[in-house]
Structure formats: structure tokens, C-alpha cells
Structure 1
Amino acid sequence: MSAGTLSSFDHGRSGHWEWQYLDLMRRIWEEGDERVDRTGVGTRSLFGALIRFDLSGGAMPLLTTKRVYWKTASRELLWFLSGETNIRPLCAQGVEIWTDWPLDRYRRETGGSMDRAAFSRRIVEDADFAARWGDLGPVYGKQWVDWPVYEPAREEDGKGLYRRRERGINQVAQVVESLKTNPGSRRHIIEGWNVAELDAMALPPCHKTYQFHVADGRLSGMLYQRSCDMGLGFAFNMWSLALLTRMLAQQCNLEPGEVVWSGADVHLYLNHAELVKEQLARSPAGEPKLAFARCPDSVFDYRVEDFDVTGYAPQAHIAAPVAV
């Protein structure tokens, strides 16, 4: 660690969990390997990081050094759980976090210059347009609740033919069942990295593998993330990991335990210098908590109105561009 880098022990002011994040951000910016990336923007990157958070007492890992739009992140998670791959339901709720990828494809393939607001409006209002331009391919939710399964169909000309089963594997439902019936299992896993379908996805899964663990009646969750934009993406990823763990705990009559986030290529984009400078100048404070308004019949039946967050008083939002 360089002399200019502060560890969580150097602060000496607070045991707030968010120092883990801020220290990692500082270390990436000061020590990270500068590299050309897929987007052409460029990043500073480190390999391998771990952040832990205790969910006891309803606590939730919302960043306080900038505003995190947790309802938007929650709507995205519920969209994943629906198995939907078209941005139309998101756009209808005013959620634009996935719009840039299909908009970029639309502009490339048509030569059009439609702006994002007009594109989103057309997606919502025109079902045929949405079907043509709004689908992201078999991303997250498709793999989570409908992992494709192929089975022999018939023999023809000596060659075995296969057909895709109408419904694939619902990994989330399987995890709920296994948590209830075999809590000591080491196979409570939701996997998004389907090698056979990566090329058909608008963006291969970054938060790719979730695993859950039961001990002493408490459910903990761990996420392995192959790639993480620490300036913009991490806040949503950490929230969603915690929210999914809380939802599963409620469905399985377990107490919330701990969430563990692990990142492989953790990076900051070079055009996020102002974000980094501003956020590192702030100190975290506060303890946001989440309560559920009800317990739905299924993990697939939650609505954003079911999530009640209290004690969240973040500092101002920090704007930064998204690299597509």
C-alpha cells in the first residue's frame, strides 16, 4: 500500500462499513493498472477485492457519501426475477439503466440519432418497436429463472436432434426449495454465466455468481463479480445482493446474516476523476435500515412498495458518465 493510501484503520474516526469501499476506491485510483478497456474510455484497475456487511437489525449497505437510488436498483432486481429481457417494463417505470445498450445498437444499425428520452418513449408506446430494439438477449433474469435445457427430440438420418424444453431451470426457485429442505447444502447457487449464450447478450453478466449459506438460523449471501465499475455499478450491486439475501431469508423463515461482495477486476473509469475526488473528500455517516411491508407468497411476488427504507440521509448525488 502506498504512503498516500489510507486504510480503514488510518481514519480512526468511524467503524462505518463504507470505509471499506472508499479505501478500495482510493487504492484503485492511486495504485491501479491503467489499461485500455472494451469501451475505449480506459480504466484504472486492481484484481481481487472483498467487502463484508452485517445485515443484523435490518441494516442495509447503502452508500452514504453519495445518493444511491435504491428504488431504481430494487426495480432492476425485481425485473431480473421476472425473467424479462426487454427494457420495456423498466422504461415504463422510468428506469433507464439498461437503455444505453439497445439505443447504441439502434443508432449503429439504423444510422438514426434518436436521443434516449425519445427512444425510451417509443419503447414504451410501441410494442413492435420494443420487440425489435428493446431486447437485451438472454441476460441475467433469463438465466436466473429459465436456464435453457435441451433434450433429445428424435432420430433422423442417424443424427440425434435436440429441442429446447419450453421452460428451462428456475435456479431461484431451486435455491428457495433447497434453503428450506437442505439448509446445510453447499449448492445454494444462482449462476448467470452461461457460456453458450454469452455472444447473444447485450452485456455478459458482471455480477455472475451468487451463493447462500445457512448457519445458526441466519442466511448469508456472497456475490462473485467478474467486473465492477466501482464509481457507478458497485452501489447497485451491493444493494441488490443484500436485498436478494433479505428476500430469501424472509421467504425461508431465516434471520439475515452477512453479505460478502467479491470483485475480480475492480476498476474506475478515467473519465470519473471528478467523481473520485468528490466522493473521497466525504465521510460516511448513518445506518440505513430496511423493513418489509409484507411477506409475499413467493420470492417472485415482491413489489417495490414492499421495501421500506428508513434512516437514509445521504450526501448529494455525484453525476458521472456511463461507459457503454
Structure 2
Amino acid sequence: MASVVSRSDSLSASHWEWQYLDLMRRIWEEGDERVDRTGIGTRSIFGPQLRFDLSGGKVPLITTKRVYWKTAAREMLWFLTGETNIRPLVLQGVKIWNEWPHARYVRETGDAIALDDFVARIAQDESFAAQWGDLGPVYGKQWVDWPTYEPVGDGFYRQGPGINQIAQVVESLIGNPGSRRHIIEGWNVSEVDSMALPPCHKTYQFHVANGRLSCALYQRSCDVALGLPFNLWGGAMLTHMLAQQVGLEAGELVWIGGDTHLYLNHAHLVTEQLSRTPRGQPVLTLLRKPDSIFDYRLEDFSVSGYEPQAPIAAPVAV
């Protein structure tokens, strides 16, 4: 691999983003090379941790390549609706989830429609989207409508009211801030096989101390090049939103990875990104306080101090 910038090479050695770049470098140089579910192959390590200060509106928005934070914000707001169909995202120009339903459509129908044509049809045809745009009970469904069942007698059960984990966390942060149960869980064992992609950022736990709200995010599987920049932003965004809703300051985002990997076909991205030096300090400002955690809109978020370098394109593994 080409020579890359190291901490000692830069006056910005203390910049928070070096954690991310050091993780990328460690995986690429020391990771276990293995065959993965996609068949592409990865280099992988297990169990790293990153920590980011969120005080004063700070957010870990990666600067060594452009991260489209508005796209990531739209995805987070979509999660909070409990929606599982890609059509609302498609209508906003968000492409994050398109490959999975497209692959299912091609596999099940034998129609080798181009991805762009499939997405256009999702946007134009609501009934087609209802049939082919759904991802199964992914993130948002588990977050705001975790299924329950109640007995009706003779060994039979009917579906009960869904559990809104997000609302419960807001209530517990206000009513019992010292609790160790401020948790949002996406890994529903009984429904994992029905999901287009089982949750990667699966568990969020929140902690209150000294008037500050911190979040520990556990990610069972992490694509460091393409996924992690979005996941760090999403975790920070959600923490800032919750802190505002419950009257606390934001504290820290602690990210913990399970299988933490780089795809072998991302070599050009890794080489280029590791040659760059972090710069700037992005700050998130919430422009209003909505009535609830579910009432935020994209225009409520403003980012300043973000000085990203050029984007680096790379294929998504499906």
C-alpha cells in the first residue's frame, strides 16, 4: 500500500478523526483476511472501541472524505417513523437501501431490471413499491413497534400492542435518569430471518451523569469504509436529539464494534483516505425543539464547521 499520513506527520495529531483513520489502518494492515457472506472478502478485526466528545454540539462527522450527512439524517428520521419500505427514502433521493429489494426482485422474478429502472418504478408505482420495496421488520419496526403477543386461550395467541422503545427511553431518561435500562434494541431473534439485512448497529444504551447524556452504540458488523461514517453520525444525531428532548447536554458517543472490517475491493478508498489529514470541527445545531422525539424534520438540523475533502466512491456489498 502507498505511504500514508501518520499522527506524527500532522499538526492535527490530536484531532478526533485519527481514531477512525487508525482503525482503518489497523484493519487493512493487520486484519484477518476472510471470505464473507457477500463473497467479496474482507480484512477483519474484532472488538475495537472509539470515543467521541459530543459537548457543545460536536459530532464525529468524518472529514477525510465527504459524508452526506443530510442523507444519513433522512435515514435516521425514517427509522423513527417505523417505516420499512424504501419508497419514502426513494422519493427523497436517498439510495442507501435500494440494492437489497432490487436483488430480491431479480432473484424472485428472474427479471434482470437495472437498479435505476427498479428504483424509478418504486417511485412511480405505489402498488409495485408495496410489493417489492419492503425490507421486512428492519430497524425502525423494532425501535418503535417491537411485536408482542398475548394469549387468547386454548394455547392460541394474538398480536398485542407494539412496544415503542424510543418513547420508553425518553420516559425513562426523564423519570429515572439513573437507570441502567435506557436501551434501544434492534436484534429481534424471532424476526431476523425476515429482514432484508439484520441490524448492524443493533444496540444503543444511554447513560446520564453530571447533566450529560452519553450513548454506547454496539455494532455487530461494521463496514468501516462506507457504513461507519454514517453510523457515527447517526449515533451522535440521535444522542443530541434525545438530550434536547429530556433537558440534558450531550456527553459522549462510545462506539463498540463486533466484526469490524474493510472489503478487499475498497483498496483504492483505503489508500486514498489514509493519505489525507483530518481538518475542521463539525458542530450540529438543533434549530428548534419539537414536541416529541418523533417530530423532527430535516430542516431542524444545521451543521457548521464541516470542511470535508472530496468524496471517494466505492461499491456497496449486498
Tell me the TM-score range normalised by the shorter chain: over 0.9
Q: Which residue is 1:164 aligned to?
A: 159
TM-score by length of 1: 0.95
CA distance in 1, matches of 2:95, 2:60: 22
Superposed CA RMSD: 1.4
* 1:210-245 per-position Cα deviation (integer Å, ceiling 9, x unaligned): 000000110001100000000100000000000000
Correspondences of 1:54-73 after superposition (within 5 Å)? 54-73=53-72
TM-aligned CA deviation for residue 154 of structure 1: 2.4
CA distance in 1, matches of 2:150, 2:292: 29
Q: Which residue is 2:293 aligned to?
A: 299
Contact (CA 8 Å) 2:64, 2:276: kept in 1 or not? yes
Query: Which is further off, 37-46 or 108-117?
Result: 108-117
CA distance in 1, matches of 2:239, 2:299: 18
Q: Which residue is 1:213 aligned to?
A: 207
Q: Which residue is 2:33 aligned to?
A: 34
Contact (CA 8 Å) 2:5, 2:274: kept in 1 or not? no
Q: Give the counterpart letter for 2:103 in structure 1.
A: D
CA distance in 2, matches of 1:26, 1:75: 30
CA distance in 2, matches of 1:272, 1:246: 32
TM-aligned CA deviation for residue 293 of structure 1: 1.3
Q: Which residue is 2:248 aligned to?
A: 254
TM-aligned CA deviation for residue 120 of structure 1: 1.3
* 1:29-68 per-position Cα deviation (integer Å, ceiling 9, x unaligned): 0000000000000000001111111011111110000000
TM-aligned CA deviation for residue 134 of structure 1: 0.3
Pick one of 220, 228, 242 that aligns with 1:234. 228
TM-score by length of 2: 0.97
Contact (CA 8 Å) 1:5, 1:27: kept in 2 or not? no
Q: Secondary structure at the residue paired with 2:258?
A: strand
* 1:158-204 per-position Cα deviation (integer Å, ceiling 9, x unaligned): xx100111x31000000000000000000000000000000000000
CA distance in 1, matches of 2:54, 2:225: 23
Contact (CA 8 Å) 1:6, 1:23: kept in 2 or not? no
Q: Which residue is 1:131 aligned to?
A: 130
CA distance in 2, matches of 1:225, 1:8: 26
Q: Which runs of 5+ in 2 are unaligned?
A: none
Contact (CA 8 Å) 2:84, 2:137: kept in 1 or not? yes
Q: Which residue is 1:290 aligned to?
A: 284
Contact (CA 8 Å) 1:138, 1:200: kept in 2 or not? yes
Q: Give the counterpart letter for 1:91 in structure 2.
A: V
Q: Which runs of 5+ in 1 are unaligned?
A: none
CA distance in 2, matches of 1:315, 1:10: 18
Q: Which residue is 2:270 aligned to?
A: 276
CA distance in 2, matches of 1:116, 1:89: 17
Contact (CA 8 Å) 1:5, 1:26: kept in 2 or not? no
CA distance in 2, matches of 1:206, 1:219: 23
CA distance in 2, matches of 1:9, 1:36: 34
Q: Which residue is 1:87 aligned to?
A: 86
Q: Give the counterpart letter for 1:45 in structure 2.
A: S
CA distance in 2, matches of 1:13, 1:66: 16
CA distance in 2, matches of 1:78, 1:13: 33
TM-aligned CA deviation for residue 6 of structure 1: 8.6
What's the % identity of the aligned pairs? 71
TM-aligned CA deviation for residue 119 of structure 1: 1.2
Q: Which residue is 1:49 aligned to?
A: 48
CA distance in 2, matches of 1:217, 1:28: 36
Q: Which residue is 1:195 aligned to?
A: 189
Cα 1:272–1:132 shift into 2, 3 Å: same
TM-aligned CA deviation for residue 14 of structure 1: 2.2
